[in-house]
Amino acid sequence: MEQLQCHVKQYAWGKYGEQSEVARLFADGHTNFKIDEKTPYAELWMGTHPDGPAQLKKCSTRLSTYLAKNPSILTNNNSAKNIHLPFIMKVMSIRTTLSLQVHPTKEQARRLHELDPINYPDRNHKPELAYALTQFELLCGFRPAREILKNLQTFPSLRLLFGGDKYSKPLENCISQMKHLDTVNQDSPEYQNSRKYLEACFRFMMVPNRSDVNDLVSQLLSELANGLRGSLEEGTVEVIKKMSVDFPNDIGIFSPLFLNHMILQPGECCYYAAEELHAYLSGECVECVGCSNNTIRAAMTPKYIDRDALCSVLNYKMTEPADYLVKERSVNGCVDEYAPDCKDFQLHRIRVETNSTEQDMMMPTLECPSILVIVKGKGTIEEATTENQLIGQYEVKRGDIFYIPPKHNIRFTECTEDIEGYRTFSDEIGPDHDTRLVTPVQCNVPTINEKMFKLDADMEEEPTAVVNVQIL
Ligand SMILES: [Zn+2]
């Protein structure tokens, strides 16, 4: 296995300095790195994507180049300059809401890329999984129909936002006709019609340059101040108030009224594929995404908003928040697996304790490549072939990140402090990024070092700098 040197993204929505787990973890794994208290550290990228490529620590060769020079089951393309993993694993530290956004399917991504390769630099899709390291909050997917109905009946501002008699009323009428609102039959004509009316409401909401947004936001805030709640919990009311401060008069302030507000506790995990409207709100997570950087934004961002693409891509499903949760499956006494319905990645949470049994300290052999990050503890790893021939022995500690080739056996032989790690893997062949356009669009961004500049189409907010943190 190979120790990696990875990249940190300094987007403005990240937590500052020592408050950021991204900064602390990166500093623990990269000894020459000094944390700056005035810098937001948003994301640690662990993968081969050109916007934040990992390098081998021993020689600074990109991992993607190393994979191309060391052909394996990953490819039968011997001429490729870079071979990409199908996933990016990230650690995220979120201080303020990221933009309200959606990701396209593979087919939609390919079409968007052909029409607009600058704003959609990847042909690949970008499913996402978030595992909560701390309390982690997000908005994800449209609320169940009964909750949307209750909020429409409670908040006149939402009815107006959704087009009043013309669009909102038919939606209310259609949901009211649904039988058994607690257990909606998604094949029923009422449900399918409701999705169409919801789309009409959403498209009306997204009409450009609406002149009534400021008034509607003020109206919503006074409705909340007067005690109206509909299906909102108090925590969600606080989210709306915070958004109104962070993004004054932004249409996204209304999103918690029609999207599920999920509050994950540490160890809980959620997954959503393409076509789901979502926004991360706060907290720290391990994120697994497809090896892509395609995002279509709806609100709460100074970045490019593509209303037509956005409205066309959404699935307008009204879903229980529990549908997005991924339950763990125990692999052995030290490893739990999170396997969503997605080929691009699976996640192992590894917890080795000083008194773990030898058998449990043996990690499952994977037929595919993987990346491992240690977020806690200290110990020793032995690496062996499938024939149990010892290849190497490594002292590992918090902050260390490794690439593990397919079919290499990994076992912890010693644990001096309880270890926690995350390992992402996939059997898929990664995308081809060698022909990707890397044009510095949206370049109203200060760059510390042009050479280090990487276009990042996933900048959720105006970043303070889009350089990758340099290893001094
Ligand atoms: Zn996203």
Give the chain's end-to-end CA distance (angstroms, integer).
Answer: 24
Residue 457: the pLDDT is: 32
List the single range of 260-264, 334-338, 420-424, 449-453 with lowest mean pLDDT. 449-453
Residue 305 has pLDDT above 80, yes or no: yes
pLDDT interval class at 83 (50, 70, 90): confident
CATH of 142-263+304-321, one of 1.20.1070.10, 3.40.50.300, 1.10.441.10, 3.40.190.10: 1.10.441.10
Residue 441: the pLDDT is: 32
Residue 189 has pLDDT above 50, yes or no: yes
Taking the centre of ligand 1 as the mean of its atom positions, its distance from the CA of residue 376, in whole angstroms, is: 27
Residue 112 has pLDDT above 90, yes or no: no
Residue 368: the pLDDT is: 92
List the single range of 90-94, 110-114, 361-365 with lowest mean pLDDT. 110-114
For 238, phi then psi, to 5°, come to: -65, -40
Taking the centre of ligand 1 as the mean of its atom positions, its distance from the CA of residue 129, in whole angstroms, is: 9
pLDDT tens digit sequence for 205-230 = 999 889 999 999 999 999 999 999 99
Residue scoring higher pLDDT (451 or 264): 264
Per-position b or e across 115-147, b if 16+ CB within 10 A of its CB: eeeebbbbbbbbbbbbbbbeebbbbbbbbbbbb
What is the bridge-based pairing of β-strands 269-272 and 55-56? unpaired
Residue 465 has pLDDT above 60, yes or no: no
Taking the centre of ligand 1 as the mean of its atom positions, its distance from the CA of residue 278, in whole angstroms, is: 7
Catalytic choice (123, 143, 297, 423): 297
Out of 6-15, 79-88, 286-295, give the one with best mean pLDDT: 6-15
Taking the centre of ligand 1 as the mean of its atom positions, its distance from the CA of residue 461, in whole angstroms, is: 13
H or E stretch including 64? helix 63-69
DSSP three-state, residue 193: helix
Residues of the chain with CATH 2.60.120.10: 329-425
Residue 435 has pLDDT above 70, yes or no: no
Residue scoring higher pLDDT (118 or 201): 201
Taking the centre of ligand 1 as the mean of its atom positions, its distance from the CA of residue 101, in whole angstroms, is: 6
Whether 229 is catalytic is no
Taking the centre of ligand 1 as the mean of its atom positions, its distance from the CA of residue 244, in whole angstroms, is: 21
Q: What is the mean pLDDT of residues 391-401?
A: 96
Mean pLDDT of the chain: 88
Asked if 454 contacts 468 with a C-beta cutoff of 8 angstroms, the reply is yes
List the CATH code of the domain at 329-425: 2.60.120.10
Residue 278, annotated as binding a ligand: yes
Could you tell me which of 146, 134, 224 has the C-alpha nearest to residue 178?
Answer: 146
Residues of the chain with CATH 1.10.441.10: 142-263+304-321
pLDDT tens digit sequence for 323-374 = 999 999 999 999 999 999 988 999 999 999 999 998 889 999 999 999 999 9
Residue 453 has pLDDT above 80, yes or no: no
Residue 241: the pLDDT is: 97
CA dist 334 and 361 (Å) reads 7
CA dist 240 and 139 (Å) reads 11
Residue 74: the pLDDT is: 61
- The one-letter amino acid code at 421 reads G
The structure tokens 């290849």 sit at 391
Residue 470: the pLDDT is: 29
Taking the centre of ligand 1 as the mean of its atom positions, its distance from the CA of residue 97, in whole angstroms, is: 12
Residue 320: the pLDDT is: 95
Taking the centre of ligand 1 as the mean of its atom positions, its distance from the CA of residue 457, in whole angstroms, is: 12
Residue 410 has pLDDT above 90, yes or no: yes
Residue 463: the pLDDT is: 35
Residue 172, annotated as binding a ligand: no
Residue 125 has pLDDT above 80, yes or no: no
Out of 175-189, 190-204, 440-454, give the one with best mean pLDDT: 190-204
Residues of the chain above pLDDT 90, percent = 68
Taking the centre of ligand 1 as the mean of its atom positions, its distance from the CA of residue 459, in whole angstroms, is: 11
Taking the centre of ligand 1 as the mean of its atom positions, its distance from the CA of residue 295, in whole angstroms, is: 7
Could you tell me which of 16, 2, 21, 278 has the C-alpha nearest to residue 134?
Answer: 21
- The one-letter amino acid code at 452 reads M
